[in-house]
Amino acid sequence: MNGPAPSEVWAAAERLAGRVRRTPLLPLDGFPGLLLKAEHLQHGGSFKTRGAANALLARRPGRVVAGSSGNHGLAVAALGGALGAGVTVVMAAGAEETKERAVRARGATVVRVAGGVAERDRHARALAERTRAFLLPSSDHALVVAGQGTVALEVFEDAPGAHTLYLPTGGGGLLAGACLAALATGRRVRIVGVEPRDARRYFHSLAAGRPVELPPSRTVADGLRAQRPGRVPLPLVGRRVDALVGVTDEEIVEALRLLRERGVAAEPSGAVALAGALAAGAPAGSVAVVSGGNAPARPLTPPARRAGAPEQESGPRPTQVKEAT
């Protein structure tokens, strides 16, 4: 599976012009110099619209199968339907029911499968092969990565003084897209991927020098439960990422609370990048991507911790995999 060339992020920007929203950079009250890239205000409620739209507009398939935790499925269902494609979205058993209902409401067929994200993606691949449909992964496709890279292109243009970009990291499409945009522009900004502490598939894969599949995760950040890195994103991340940090569910919930108290309607996954920035002291000159806002406004309570479990991982907290060259 070939990865995108840096020039493909520019092609994606041209293809998406007028199709996606150029989301604003918002200040965060109480944190001077820290900006939020408001992708929760994107069409469809998340950055996933960019990658899905770039792939669908480039390929124009008649039938589409997508594995999704929700936001990618929403984007594929909306645009695929508008383009006249038949859309089937495969979701894991633990996916949010509210997101499933929203996907169905956009005219897609939803298939639920037992197991975690890895099993979901295997089922989607088999279904696409059996029905001869276009398989559109949420992250693991060159056109998707290039589309997600337009988030970083906008940040680079709208915040020329920013020195660090924090990105939530699940399947890795958004992080790889930012790496692609940095390579395309030559921008020396520091690229930081933020993963839930018990779903650090990119940290462990780069440390091992090979793709590592993790057990299913129950992190509160339901959109970041991918069990293994994508084959397309991983080389890009390894080539250009500056740091990978892990945050606890408690840190995610606290970041989410902070956002909602300030009127930013994020979902838990959308608060992960901010959690990473806060863990680093919320330095001025940083931008955190609020990746999505498709979630019910449930009461915010930190998840229960196992009896006797430590507050943080034992030993030094692994926050950096490699320095960019």
Helical packing angle, 71-82 and 97-105, nearest 10°: 0
What are the structural domain ranges in the chain? 6-46+141-289, 62-135
In whole angstroms, what is the distance from residue 125 CA to residue 158 CA?
38
Report DSSP letters for 43-66, one per residue: GGGBTHHHHHHHHHHHH--SEEEE
pLDDT the model gives residue 69 = 86
- Decide: helix, strand or coil at residue 243: strand
pLDDT tens profile 60-100: 999 999 999 889 999 999 999 899 999 999 999 888 899 99
Angle at 73 (CA atoms; ends 70, 79), nearest 5 degrees: 140
CATH code matching the domain that covers 62-135, chosen among 3.40.50.720, 3.30.70.270, 3.40.50.1100, 1.10.3720.10 = 3.40.50.1100
Report DSSP letters for 275-313, one per residue: HHHHHTT--TTEEEEE-B--S------PPPPPTT--SS-
In whole angstroms, what is the distance from residue 280 CA to residue 68 CA?
30
Element (H, E) at 86: strand 86-92
In whole angstroms, what is the distance from residue 313 CA to residue 99 CA?
32
Who contacts 312 (Cβ-Cβ below 8 Å, separation ≥6)? Answer: 248
The CATH fold of domain 6-46+141-289 = Rossmann fold (3.40.50)
In the numeric block, which tokens belong to residue 191? 């690229």
pLDDT the model gives residue 321 = 39
In whole angstroms, what is the distance from residue 146 CA to residue 136 CA?
14
- Contact 255/274 with Cβ under 8 angstroms? yes
Element (H, E) at 195: strand 190-196
Is 62-135 the same fold as 6-46+141-289?
yes
In whole angstroms, what is the distance from residue 76 CA to residue 79 CA?
5
Helical packing angle, 249-261 and 272-279, nearest 10°: 100
- Contact 38/31 with Cβ under 8 angstroms? no
pLDDT the model gives residue 303 = 53
Instruction: Name the stretches of the chain with pLDDT < 50.
Output: 304-325
pLDDT the model gives residue 1 = 61
C-alpha distances (whole Å) from 27 to each of 35, 111, 166, 243 are 5, 40, 15, 24
Instruction: Report yes or no on whether pTM surpasses 0.85.
Output: yes
Main-chain phi, psi angles of 67, to 5 degrees: -90, 135
Element (H, E) at 142: helix 142-158
pLDDT tens profile 160-215: 999 999 999 999 999 999 999 999 999 999 999 999 999 999 999 999 999 999 99
Instruction: For residue 60, count other CB atoms closer than 10 A to its CB.
Output: 11
